[in-house]
Amino acid sequence: MEPEEIQNSEKVINGIAVSPGIAIGAVLVIGRKFAKIIERSITPDEVEFQITKFQEALDTTRAQIRALQQNLNETLKEKHSSIFDAHLLITQDKMVIDEVEAATKKELKNIDYIFDRIMKKYIAAIASMPDDYIRERVGDFRDVSSRIIANMHGGHDKQFDSLPGQRIIVAHDLTPSDTASLDRENVLALATEVGSRTSHTAIMARSMEIPAVVGISADDLNIGSGDIIIVDGYKGLLITNPKPATLEIYARRETREEEIHDEILKESTLRPETVDRFRIQLAANMELPEDLAAAIKYGAAGIGLFRTEYLYINRTEPPSVEEQFLIYKDLVEKLNGYPLIIRTFDLGGDKLSSITEEATHIDPNPFLGCRAIRLHLDFPELLPQQIRAILMASAYGDVKVMFPMITCMDEMGQLNGLVESEKRELRSKGIAYNEEMEIGIMIETPSAALIADKLAKKVDFFSIGTNDLVQYTLAVDRGNEKVAYLYQPSHPAILSLIKSVTEAAYENGIWVSVCGEMAGDPRYIPLLVGMGIHELSMSASSIGPVRRLIRRLYMHDSEKLLEEALKASTADEVLDLTEGLLYEIAPDIMSMAYLGE
């Protein structure tokens, strides 16, 4: 807790911290302007004009997106312009374009109405995906769709390009192109109702080093342009109409947090080991190749989870073996001897239908349906190609492969067989690879956790994906706000499963990592240390605080804490134990409530 409490009379709005920092300033409330679409009939003679208007809007949109890319390349330290590669692909998607034009000819309806209807169909399909990262791409489709429609109606809104002085932007939503268009010299912070930690807007806000909070309640937003507010990007708070005492508190906090951040950056070369010398590897999770720079900056000892879904989405054909190989090879060479753990794609069949000849149905329950390695039987060419590319990259550095969504031993038999088959193919062609490349699996289902002792005999390492493990074990959709209170990583059942998986790894001589949100959350670090976890993989910005915390822990204290936690009856009891220890040994870390991921 802060020594000074925020005064009760002030309006404190809770949201999700997605980009750290504190900003105090005047608000600019932005209401996005959407073109009004009215369904109307057209004559056959109008069809050609409608299609021409659509094609011209596509051309204009492509030019706008390329201009945004150029702007990002020139102004950002880390190049995030590749975010808009997916936007360009949407404007060039032959399947969508042909469907829009065919429907316009057949139904004799205005083409903006037809396009809007078809895009909403694709958006609904993507929104049903179980993977957070894939679901967040809904914003890309909405962004491009609104831009194309606006261009069909005479032009895209440019209200973000120039601001009347320094402002805190408050909006229902900011699309990636909105964020890229911002007058960054004058943007103090961002706050939106919509968004998550993995959205492109959040990623770009972190790259721009702009404090950002998302997920704020519209019901609480009784503010207007010109009002003074505080955005707390560490704790995920908006404070409206702050009193002078609160402004003073936050001015001091801002100075203190900046000092802590600078200190932590200077510690990036220190060993992440406890006072009594138990050492833990700290690695980074990575969504896109461009994220590697941040991982290196914060002192990551490798990439513990490289999500490869981006290679497969928003395109009309699957990535070739060569394309994948060059990406993996480039990354591992830049890591200079540190490991790169590549997770094979974790997608649903409905999302892959656009890059395969065979269309697939939309899963009625994608969280429990045909996804990840379960797709191998439906699309037998995709996984072997990815495995081959990973094997080829293993000749250039410490590359490991990791398979998600494992539930049974039969799946492991299939996967190990695939790896051996691809090795034989490469040997027959004289292509180099690492014969001893390590194979790991994600433990993210209760069934995998319960048979970890058997699975450990078939792999070289475990990576415990706590996000899904918590979700599946507690039967809680972590994206459903009505049951979000039940999503409890500190639940005694979760701790018991993680402990049993770790024990199975030790008994079978393999190493074990944690790569979910728990790995970057200081409240859980003493528990994971007490279990003897070998590696923690998290967002790059979480590495510094976690490193500092580990260096203040004693292994024997962590083991005692774990013993007490396993006796607890509720998740809250566990948190009381861990937070009590952390406030004692690391109050500075606990003040930085921005917990990554």
DSSP 79-110: --GGGGHHHHHHHT-HHHHHHHHHHHHHH-B-
Domain match, 15 and 101 both: no
Rounded to an integer, the average pLDDT of 428-442 is 97
- As a whole number of angstroms, the distance between CA 319 and CA 323 comes to 6
Residue 135 pLDDT class (50, 70, 90 cuts): low
Kindly report, residue by residue over 83-96, the tens digit of the pLDDT: 566 677 778 888 88
Domain match, 469 and 570 both: yes
* 39, part of any domain: no
Domain limit, last residue, from 152, 169, 197:
152
Residue 68 pLDDT class (50, 70, 90 cuts): low
Give residue 563's pLDDT.
96
> What is the count of structural domains for the chain?
3
| 3-class state of residue 83 by DSSP | helix
Domain match, 103 and 166 both: no
Give residue 1's pLDDT.
38
- pLDDT score of 359 more than 50: no
Q: What are phi and psi of 211, to 5 degrees?
A: -55, 140
Domain match, 135 and 220 both: no
* 341, part of any domain: yes
Report residue 552 as tokens: 């203040």
Q: Provide, rounded to the nearest whole percent, the portion of the chain with pLDDT above 70.
A: 79
Active-site annotation holds for 200? yes
Instruction: Select which of 80, 87, 156, 200 is catalytic.
Output: 200
Domain match, 447 and 531 both: yes
Return the CATH number at 69. 1.10.274.10
Domain match, 135 and 167 both: no
Active-site annotation holds for 361? no
Give residue 354's pLDDT.
47
Domain limit, last residue, from 133, 152, 171:
152
Return the CATH number at 207. 3.50.30.10
* 3, part of any domain: no
Give residue 71's pLDDT.
62
* 1, part of any domain: no
Q: Which structural domain, as residue segments, surrounds residue 54?
A: 44-152
Q: Provide, rounded to the nearest whole percent, the portion of the chain with pLDDT above 90.
A: 47
Q: Is 446:472 a contact under the CB 8 Å cutoff?
A: yes
Kindly report, residue by residue over 165-190, the tens digit of the pLDDT: 888 988 877 766 676 667 767 889 99
Question: Of 517, 137, 125, whose CA–CA distance to 348 is shortest?
Answer: 125
Give residue 45's pLDDT.
92
Domain match, 106 and 177 both: no
Give residue 478's pLDDT.
65
Rounded to an integer, the average pLDDT of 430-440 is 97
Full-prediction pTM beyond 0.85? no
Give residue 470's pLDDT.
92
Instruction: Select which of 80, 156, 491, 515 is catalytic.
Output: 515
| 3-class state of residue 311 by DSSP | helix
